[in-house]
Structure 1
């Protein structure tokens, strides 16, 4: 009998590749990674995970590789990272496998199109404009009113996203985005948005069921670097009801409802305002927090859907889980980082992970790449979890030597 394989195109959501691999193996599946750069993930090589080199932006190349693998394996399902999720949907349809609707995913990944669809459906969103040049950006900001958010219409991880509080900051960041600084390639358009002020909430959804609502804290502006996720958020029943209603309205407006969706809201003076709908599972540490808080393994349940099974989204318990990110405080060379073993030994700590090794260069970008690690903890109460988390983080330290000045 041929082995049942799960194809993972470019792995999974940020930081979740090991979790997908391990969940697949627990389900009796053989994980196979298709990647444009198989050498970029040390975990895969260390664990001996089968990894194939293929141009993952080329649908025909993926079809060809999957067809070749079918000669050896029974391909039970296909999923993958958000950057190729549209292609994953098309691949699933080609092989008649369960998967997301590629048309819905594609229109959702363009933030301007997403805003248009949400506005047409009457979902509360920030005021916005799409700008094609610096003059458009300036006039759009004037129409909306300062401060504004400038960001590329396509992308994730807060890359290229900045709060601009005056015309000088607008001009500077406009030049950065159009010139390709801080982002992987120049942006031909810029999304100018009203700054919706209020606490940020994240919603974790599977299918059309809201699993949990968490809250997020950021570092200092003008950037949006995550500092802490907490699940569940401390909300009233009415606030939960309104966020849940708005979340389901987003799914209907965008044609979503198969598999995982992650939504971000700001709670403003007028209630929940949608910031972004991600047609995928939120990256780490969201799945770990859901598991710790409710006993629901979103990654395992997602894989079950992918292979044609049914989800079990029943909550086993109700705890408070939180993740604190370790964020670099300066640019330079990382001399050392330590304290992970002591932090991991603290009762209630579920995970301590460093993303960098000593001697690595640290160059802050003002987005998720500034994070150099995280600590996750859980307990029966929010206060206890916060105390555990703080105690563990206090045991961790690092040293960064600034780069030499240009004239040295």
Structure 2
């Protein structure tokens, strides 16, 4: 009997990429994971939803991937889709799937969105695009500052950053020079992206495009910490926006994905609502990671990763909400560095009314620190209720029950 398979290029231990693997199992598929992280094979028992795990030293090596695919095909397994929900393999997976004839995603658009310089250059002149410049790192910081910085503050970032890593708010020349020195030390980095700083509340937009039809599957309000690194500590779904703003957002997103050439595929955008209209902060060729897929599910009953898999399989998608609840995800960060001794209060947090999930990421003995990227968010709580204030109150109350006991290092 031939088994129908979905092949995944990498997954995280939890979050949207792992939700996608679990969704594939629920859909009746045999799941195969290609990973370049040996620790996943050492922790094999923690991935029961992965039916077959294959170690690949470098997932960018298409020749090695094709060799493994040939072996799979000889094992009476039929590959129905090859996908990735993890940077930087989304475009590669779509490219291989197209070559195999198993998907028809907009490969070029996904490629553009994987690099911040590429998508900024493609959208140059678009009304929603902030001003930007590409800075060659070979020039000295003083020259770059006087040539390119016309007003402060500005944003300086790596073209391949994700999860708010290496995204810096620059408010004076000294900060700019320090940032340039920091980026010059990073291997393989030849340029920086300088962007206009945009004021206004920020929203996460989850988009799925099916044969040119643009579905805004989720519009989520983000709560951003006051740190310079833009760490997001809260997500409210659905965002409390008037119909007129949502209609304007729909028009703007349709225009953006058209200019990028995305006619079939998924992406998520971070947008700011300003006095001059909607402005694009980021766009990435996949669903957001971490708790976002579950947050959307608790609010609407839609599994966006499942709909993404359906898109890759050539099945019709359905983004019609089944529920209409407000859902809030609250993330926990540390204020100081330390070695984790234990975490208490998790069970108590689960007993708070309206709580749907409590997740704690680090293991005992891990070194925790104040956040410089989204990877330094160490736990989250999701609540869902008929009223948004109830959901926010429940999630923040439950989060206060969780205590991280640290030993100074």
Aligning the two structures, in what range does the TM-score lie when normalised by the shorter sequence?
over 0.9
Q: Which residue of 2 aligns with 1:78?
A: 82
Q: Which residue of 1 aligns with 2:132?
A: 128
Displacement of 1:393 in angstroms is 1.0
Q: 2 CA distance for matches of 1:369 and 1:90?
A: 28
State whether structure 2 residue 183 is matched by structure 1 residue 198.
no
In structure 2, relative to structure 1, the CA distance for the partners of 1:13 and 1:248 (3 Å cut) is farther
Q: 2 CA distance for matches of 1:78 and 1:150?
A: 34
Q: 2 CA distance for matches of 1:162 and 1:393?
A: 28
Displacement of 1:12 in angstroms is 6.3
Q: Which residue of 1 aligns with 2:59?
A: 56
Q: 1 CA distance for matches of 2:198 and 2:208?
A: 26
Q: Which residue of 2 aligns with 1:142?
A: 149
Whether the aligned pair in 2 keeps the contact of 1:79 and 1:99 (CA below 8 Å) is no
Q: What count of residue pairs does the alignment treat as equivalent?
A: 397
Stretch deviating more after TM superposition (17-26 or 316-325): 17-26
In structure 2, relative to structure 1, the CA distance for the partners of 1:354 and 1:65 (3 Å cut) is same
Q: 2 CA distance for matches of 1:234 and 1:253?
A: 28
Match of 1:119, SS?
Answer: coil
Whether the aligned pair in 2 keeps the contact of 1:348 and 1:385 (CA below 8 Å) is yes
- Identify the match of residue 380 of structure 2 among 374, 381, 397: 374
Q: Which residue of 1 aligns with 2:95?
A: 90
Whether the aligned pair in 2 keeps the contact of 1:2 and 1:74 (CA below 8 Å) is yes
The Cα RMSD (Å) is 1.8
Moved over 6 A (4+): none
Gaps of 5+ in 1: 404-408
- Could you give the per-residue CA deviations for residues 197-220 of structure 1, whole angstroms, max 9, x where no partner exists? 110011111112111211111112
- Identify the match of residue 72 of structure 2 among 69, 72, 75: 69
Whether the aligned pair in 2 keeps the contact of 1:12 and 1:20 (CA below 8 Å) is no
Whether the aligned pair in 2 keeps the contact of 1:12 and 1:82 (CA below 8 Å) is no
Q: 2 CA distance for matches of 1:282 and 1:225?
A: 14
Match of 2:53, SS?
Answer: strand
Q: 1 CA distance for matches of 2:355 and 2:148?
A: 44
Q: Which residue of 1 aligns with 2:191?
A: 189
Q: How does 1:6-405 map to 2 (within 5 A)?
A: 6-11=6-11, 15-40=15-40, 44-48=44-48, 49=50, 50-54=52-56, 55-72=58-75, 73-80=77-84, 81-120=86-125, 122-133=126-137, 134-143=141-150, 145-180=151-186, 185=187, 187-207=189-209, 208-364=214-370, 366-403=372-409
Q: 1 CA distance for matches of 2:201 and 2:275?
A: 11
Displacement of 1:396 in angstroms is 0.9
Displacement of 1:241 in angstroms is 1.2
Match of 2:155, SS?
Answer: strand
Stretch deviating more after TM superposition (36-45 or 22-31): 36-45
Displacement of 1:142 in angstroms is 2.5
Q: 1 CA distance for matches of 2:296 and 2:11?
A: 20
Q: 2 CA distance for matches of 1:74 and 1:39?
A: 27
Whether the aligned pair in 1 keeps the contact of 2:371 and 2:377 (CA below 8 Å) is no
TM-score, length basis structure 1: 0.93
Q: Which residue of 2 aligns with 1:406?
A: none
